[in-house]
Amino acid sequence: MIKKTFYNLPEEKRQRIIAAIMQEFASSSTEKVSINRIIKAAKISRGSFYQYFDDKVDLVEVLAKSLLDFSLEGASAALQYSNGDIFETYEKLFDLIAEFADDKDKKTILKNLFRNLRANDDLISEYLSNRFHGFASLQDMSKQVNRSNLKYKSDEDVQLLTQILIQVLKNALFDVFVMGMDREKIRQTFLRKLEIIRTGAVE
């Protein structure tokens, strides 16, 4: 578990550690990630590392939270720009995150992150579900959704819709970053899925 001491660090030092973690994930597959290289790049001691983190899984959480913070900023801006249109918001989110593919290091980081979220359900996905509450922030954003053109308008229904859209987004990003599929083709498929969800599959 990421410890409070990490979040209590001065911003400069915390960002230096995050940058070292990103650098390591950009150069190594997760199973080969080296704590020694991280502490060397971050200029901290091994003792300090274990004051901040329990294990390598915590490093995945650091990356997930960094990505989520970036996504939340984009989602919030998209919601405002689209007057609360939830479908336009997720279209914009896909474009924002997929742009990482233009940067080789960031693409590798996300490839390793999505690969591990998909491949290690028992270890990492359960860990994130139980201890990482960042995805709740995306759920909270459902309160900003414009419901005037939605068929189902209750808080519960909008949250369920949000869960569906998050899963569709994650699957699309997995195809881009892990499977290496063409980004534009995946984008078009993603938009088609959004349209099917928006309009419904039954006449």
Q: What are the tens digits of pLDDT across the range 1-39?
A: 789 999 999 999 999 999 999 888 877 666 678 899 999
Topology adopted by domain 60-199: Tetracycline Repressor; domain 2 (1.10.357)
pTM: 0.69
Whole-angstrom Cα distance, residue 192 to residue 186? 10
* Interior/surface letters 63-87, b for 16+ CB within 10 angstroms, e for the rest: bbbbbbeebbebbeebbeebebbbb
Domain boundaries, the chain: 60-199
Joined together, the tokens standing for residue 32 give 């080969």
pLDDT for residue 44 is more than 60:
yes
What local confidence, expressed as pLDDT, does residue 138 receive? 58
121 falls in which pLDDT band (50, 70, 90)?
very low
Average pLDDT over residues 155-176: 88
